[in-house]
Amino acid sequence: MTLPDWMLLLSLLLAVAVVLGLLARRVGLPHTVVLAVLGFAAGTVGREFDVQIPLYGETFEEVVVFIFLPALVFQAALNLSSRDFFRNLLPIMVLAVPALVVSAALIGISLHFGLALPLTAALLFGALISATDPVAVVAIFHELGAPRRLLTLIEGESLLNDGVAIVLFNILLVAALGEAASISDGVLTFFQTFFGGVVCGAAIGFFAAFVMPWLDRLTATAVTVSIAYGGFIIADHVLGVSGVVTTVTAGVVLGGLAQSRASVEVRAVWHEFWESLEYIANAI
């Protein structure tokens, strides 16, 4: 597909998502739930009629990872209360790291013994499926007035579990492909990738917060875009650490320092811009 073809396809998908959003509002269901259900239905119908849609393969993977993912995780991190996040950091880390590993292991072992799948392939699927996205759940919690700490735990865990799952997936992929792999090397790789992303993201977030007082609302917003995408790619492609963890950490640090380093007007523009970008990315 050429770039104009991609842009046309994404534009059509967004238009369909907007129409479905209006329908979801009328029937009183969360937008993401309607999109998921009709997405499954469209996929089923497409297979029945052998409709070829080019949303697969390495090109589409790169579109998702390098265009949509940084926008989604940065927006969530930027709007998360850093005070609540660090106050609940221990339970968030427990849910994001050990709990995710346990979940992946239980799913993998169940598939191994239940369906006789190779253990490494079953564990690989467990790592793939254990990082849940709570977008619909959080929307419902906001409507129900759920406790603030519960929202912080769920949102904080969901931000970190993506990075953990990606690192775990890459480690298990080596074993699943039949290459030599050891537990000690895997643990070392995990710590280097995960905490390297934390250090990289913290440095980017502190630098951005430092220059904020000299920027107006438009240039400050442009800097946040640069952080979200540039930080992700520098971490992932140049430094070899987790791009997701880097972007999340940068967003949390900048969001926490924004109260004292960015004006009210700047923060208002941030909120509108990133909320719109999140809607577009989630919808497509």
Which of 55, 70, 88 is a domain's end point? 55
Cβ proximity of 241 and 235 under 8 Å: yes
User: How far is the C-alpha of 268 from the C-alpha of 221, rounded, in Å?
Assistant: 10
pTM higher than 0.85, yes or no? no
Say yes or no: 128 and 161 in one domain.
yes
**Based on the domain organization, do 87 and 164 belong to the same domain?**
yes
Average pLDDT, 10 consecutive residues per value, the chain (284 residues): 79 89 85 83 78 67 82 86 87 90 93 90 91 70 79 84 81 79 72 88 94 92 94 90 89 90 90 89 82
34 and 75, same domain (yes or no): no
- The reply to whether 150 and 235 lie within a common domain is yes
Q: Is there a single domain that holds both residue 8 and residue 99?
A: no
Q: Which of 34, 55, 76 is the last residue of a domain?
A: 55
Are 20 and 142 members of one domain? no
How many angstroms separate the CA atoms of 207 and 197, rounded?
Answer: 15
- Domain total in the chain: 2
Report the interhelical angle of 264-283 vs 31-48 (nearest 10°). Answer: 30
Residues contacting 1, CB < 8 A, separation 6+ = 9, 54, 59
- For residue 12, the enclosing domain spans 1-55
Shared domain check, 279 and 165: yes
